């Protein structure tokens, strides 16, 4: 069966940039948050797909869970982030399509001793291209 080569139509093969939303929380930022709770931290762009999320703790706190979601108090993007353990933590809940854009909420637990952590959300804006193509030799 013959095929029609459409690899150059609609910029299918143009390279995409991996984008990240990065939220750093330290004692100064935690003070601005004014305690544990749910906070709107970022508005993710339209026409994107969230592909990963995690928390990387640099200095441990005595707090516990960190979650990321598209609804207040939700964990649609990441659950089980731990600011009490140094290193990477969190369970990526699943890919989320942003449609016309979605808010990103972070929920953090109360802490007497505030640490330092970074919450990272990786996403691809599928309508944005770098303009570059990967040249692949066609075998047939």
* Inside any domain, residue 130: no
Residue 62 belongs to a domain with what CATH number?
2.60.120
What's the pLDDT score for residue 66? 92
pLDDT band at 37 (very low <50, low <70, confident <90, very high): confident
* Inside any domain, residue 1: no
* Partners of residue 23 on adjacent β-strands: 119
pLDDT tens digits for range 83-138: 888 999 999 999 999 999 999 999 988 877 888 999 999 999 988 877 776 666 66
pLDDT tens digits for range 81-95: 998 889 999 999 999
* Percent of the chain at pLDDT exceeding 90: 52
pLDDT tens digits for range 52-82: 999 999 999 887 789 999 999 999 999 999 9
Alpha-carbon distance 64 to 42, whole Å? 22
* Inside any domain, residue 95: yes
Range of the domain at 28: 18-125
Domain count, the chain: 1
What's the pLDDT score for residue 135? 62
Residue 62 vs residues 32, 79, 137: alpha-carbon distances, Å: 18, 18, 55
* Mean pLDDT value across the chain: 86
What sign results for the dihedral spanned by CA atoms 50, 53, 90, 35? negative
What sign results for the dihedral spanned by CA atoms 94, 98, 102, 104? positive
What's the pLDDT score for residue 104? 96
What's the pLDDT score for residue 17? 78
What token pair was written down for 44?
Answer: 């993710």
* Inside any domain, residue 94: yes
Alpha-carbon distance 80 to 68, whole Å? 9
């Amino acid at each position: 069966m013959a095929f029609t080569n459409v690899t150059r139509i609609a910029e299918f093969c143009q390279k995409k940039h991996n984008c990240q939303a990065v939220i750093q929380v330290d004692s100064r930022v935690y003070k601005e948050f004014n305690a544990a709770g749910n906070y709107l931290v970022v508005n993710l762009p339209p026409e994107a797909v969230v592909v990963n999320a995690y928390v990387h703790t640099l200095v441990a706190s005595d707090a516990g869970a960190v979650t990321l979601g598209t609804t207040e108090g939700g964990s649609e993007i990441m659950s089980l982030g731990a600011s009490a353990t140094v290193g990477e933590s969190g369970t990526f809940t699943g890919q989320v399509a942003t449609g016309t854009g979605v808010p990103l909420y972070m929920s953090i637990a109360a802490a007497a001793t505030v640490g330092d952590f970074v919450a990272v959300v990786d996403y691809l804006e599928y309508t944005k291209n770098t303009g570059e193509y990967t040249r692949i030799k066609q075998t047939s």
